[in-house]
């Protein structure tokens, strides 16, 4: 157990969870051995050894995620009855696509199907068309968001944080929910942006009465989704069939519209927020290093056809420098924490993990492991994965988690970000609008997936001839 003063490690963990974990590693001699933390009276084992991490992801039901998922669903507004219906495996008398799987398991399985193979190609084709129609300079200048197109010393410029968030949220919203959500509430992406900034309070069980703004935002999002569900199905068409499939499964097990709206909020938040942050960090790194912009343009040019349509598979498979940039950005920005409940005593290496406790795996700690990534692991090196391709298969590289909770949308996220970058740098010269420092990682707030930036970046866009 890492030493602590009353009342445990919880307050320090809320202030900066990664600093607590890094301090613990140093205290125990940087050996990568697990150690225990007291978080609000609950004991968590922090796991660092990449071999142990692989064992956790390959473990069976002795290490369960359902307990955490139960709590998250409740925080998003689902009733206890609805949560049980979503997480429990139905008996043989209940009809469905698979009576041996819970709705939660089915959702994961079919989201994987939606974001792979031919289904992924159809989805990304729609999203690329959305990007091409909306990444227009005229549209930026006329944008209604008050923080979107701002003055920089008397000159108009783009707020990178708001630009990437709104573009990616609009794209994901359109693909999964069609046009109707935007008609119900045109400001919904901005509401989600703010809700996401506060979402750490949900995942770290911040007391309900101390988070009034977050409560108002989640209530507003659920209300909008509730209105959306009241519309006739034929009016709620989207290119992603997964959304209506999921709704049908919720109705099959007896959820009402309010509980379905709460479950849909979890989906809406999950598909829209982390991908925009990767886009933000990719753009920031390229904007601060003009040589990267030229590499992107040169490497992606063959992906554009005569009619300016984009071959996204070319981006994913034939642009090694762009893909290595994506991997390095993920390595430094992914800050997800894998959590598991220990349902039975579990041996892990030379250690015994006790039933009733929990364990955590920090992607950020793994991604800064100097034995895997070298003494410069804390630095951004755009060619790191180009020089050492095997790093992306390292047990220390876990930007999307692993095991049963491996992110099902990881391929879609990659294709979206690469498409966005390719289109932007084909159309525009991108410069810093004023002298600025590279944005800092927001390490003082717990991150759920991709870490946010403490600072905005203001860009000047000029149409290329």
Residue 43 lies in a domain: no
Mean pLDDT computed over every residue of the chain: 91
Residue 98: pLDDT over 60 = no
Any domain includes 405: yes
Residue 134 resides in a domain: yes
More confident residue, 136 or 126: 126
- Judge whether 211 lies within some domain: yes
Expressed as residue numbers, the domain containing 259 is 79-336+399-463
**Separation CA 332–CA 334 (nearest Å):** 6
- Distance CA(205)–CA(49), nearest Å, equals 27
Residues 137 and 424 sit within 8 Å (Cβ to Cβ): no
What is the mean predicted confidence (pLDDT) over 174-198?
94
Per-residue pLDDT tens digits for 296-342: 999 999 999 999 999 999 999 999 999 999 999 999 999 988 889 99
Examine residue 216 and state whether it is found in any structural domain, yes or no: yes
The mean pLDDT of 8-12, rounded to a whole number, is 77
pLDDT at res. 93: 56
The answer to the question of residue 189 being in a domain is yes
Any domain includes 131:
yes
In the predicted structure, residue 97 carries a pLDDT above the cut 60: no
pLDDT beyond 70 at 146? no
**Residue with structure tokens 């607590």?**
20
Could you tell me if residue 271 is inside a domain? yes
pLDDT of residue 39: 84
pLDDT tens digits for range 386-431: 999 999 999 999 999 998 889 999 999 999 999 999 999 999 999 9
- The count of domains in the chain is 1
Selection from 36-40, 135-139, 203-207 with the highest mean pLDDT: 36-40
- Residue 183: give its domain's CATH number: 1.10.630.10
Is 407 annotated as ligand-binding? yes
State how far the Cα of 196 lies from the Cα of 452, in Å rounded to an integer: 10
pLDDT tier for residue 172 given thresholds of 50, 70 and 90 = very high
Q: Give ∠ CA 313-314-316 in degrees, rounded to 5.
A: 65
- How many CB atoms neighbour CB 442 within 10 A? 16
């Amino acid at each position: 157990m890492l030493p602590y003063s009353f009342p445990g490690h919880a307050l320090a963990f809320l202030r900066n969870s990664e600093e607590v974990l890094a301090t613990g590693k140093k205290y125990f001699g940087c050996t990568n051995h697990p150690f225990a933390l007291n978080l609000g009276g609950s004991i968590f084992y922090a796991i660092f050894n990449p071999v142990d991490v692989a064992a956790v992801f390959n473990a069976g039901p002795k290490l369960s995620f359902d307990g955490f998922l139960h709590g998250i669903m409740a925080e998003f507004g689902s009733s206890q009855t609805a949560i049980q219906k979503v997480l429990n495996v139905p008996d043989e008398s209940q009809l469905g696509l698979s009576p041996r799987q819970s709705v939660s398991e089915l959702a994961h399985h079919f989201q994987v199907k939606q974001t792979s193979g031919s289904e992924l190609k159809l989805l990304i084709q729609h999203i690329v068309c959305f990007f091409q129609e909306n990444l227009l300079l005229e549209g930026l200048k006329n944008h209604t968001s008050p923080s979107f197109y701002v003055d920089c010393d008397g000159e108009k410029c783009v707020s990178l944080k708001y630009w990437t968030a709104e573009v990616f949220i609009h794209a994901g919203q359109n693909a999964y929910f069609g046009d109707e959500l935007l008609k119900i509430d045109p400001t919904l992406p901005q509401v989600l942006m703010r809700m996401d900034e506060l979402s750490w309070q949900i995942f770290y069980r911040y007391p309900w009465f101390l988070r009034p703004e977050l409560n108002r935002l989640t209530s507003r999002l659920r209300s909008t989704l509730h209105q959306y569900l009241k519309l006739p199905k034929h009016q709620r068409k989207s290119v992603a069939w997964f959304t209506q499939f999921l709704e049908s499964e919720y109705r099959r097990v007896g959820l009402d519209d309010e509980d379905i709206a709460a479950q849909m909020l979890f989906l809406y938040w999950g598909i829209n927020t982390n991908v925009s942050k990767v886009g933000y960090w990719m753009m920031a790194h390229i904007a601060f290093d003009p040589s990267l912009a030229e590499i992107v343009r040169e490497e992606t040019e063959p992906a554009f056809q005569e009619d300016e349509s984009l071959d996204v598979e070319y981006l994913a498979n034939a642009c090694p420098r762009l893909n290595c940039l994506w991997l390095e950005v993920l390595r430094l920005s992914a800050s997800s924490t894998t959590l598991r409940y220990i349902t039975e005593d579990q041996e892990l290496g030379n250690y015994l993990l006790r039933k009733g406790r929990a364990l955590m795996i920090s992607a950020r700690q793994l991604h800064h492991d100097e034995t895997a990534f070298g003494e410069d692991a804390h630095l951004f090196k755009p060619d790191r994965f180009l020089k050492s391709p095997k790093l992306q298969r390292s047990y220390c590289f876990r930007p999307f988690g692993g095991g049963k909770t491996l992110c099902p949308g990881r391929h879609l996220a990659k294709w979206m970000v690469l498409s966005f970058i390719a289109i932007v740098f084909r159309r525009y010269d991108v410069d810093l609008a004023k002298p600025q420092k590279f944005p800092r990682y927001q390490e003082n707030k717990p991150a759920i997936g991709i870490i946010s930036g403490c600072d905005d970046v203001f860009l000047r866009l000029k149409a290329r001839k």
